[in-house]
Amino acid sequence: MTAEEFRNIYRELIDENPLAIRAVLKVLAIEFTEEVSTLAVTLDSQPRLLVNLAFVGKHCRTDAEVKGVICHEFLHVLLRHTERFTRLTPPEHLALDAVINAIIHRRLGPDYSGMMSRYYENARGMHRLLRPPRDNEHYDR
Residue-wise pLDDT for 48-101, tens only, equals: 999 999 999 999 999 999 999 999 999 998 898 888 888 889 999 999 999 999
Tell whether the torsion through CA atoms of 20, 23, 28 and 34 is positive or negative: negative
pLDDT tens digits, one per residue of 101-131? 999 999 999 999 999 999 999 999 999 999 9
* Per-residue model confidence (pLDDT) at position 138: 62
From start to end of 7-139, where are the E strands? 29-32, 39-41, 48-51
Beta partners for 51? 32, 39
Cα separation of 105 and 88, whole Å?
A: 23
Global pTM value: 0.87
Predicted confidence band of residue 137 (pLDDT cuts 50, 70, 90):
low
Cα separation of 62 and 64, whole Å?
A: 5
Q: Count the residues in the chain.
A: 141
Using an 8 Å Cβ cutoff, are 17 and 9 in contact?
no
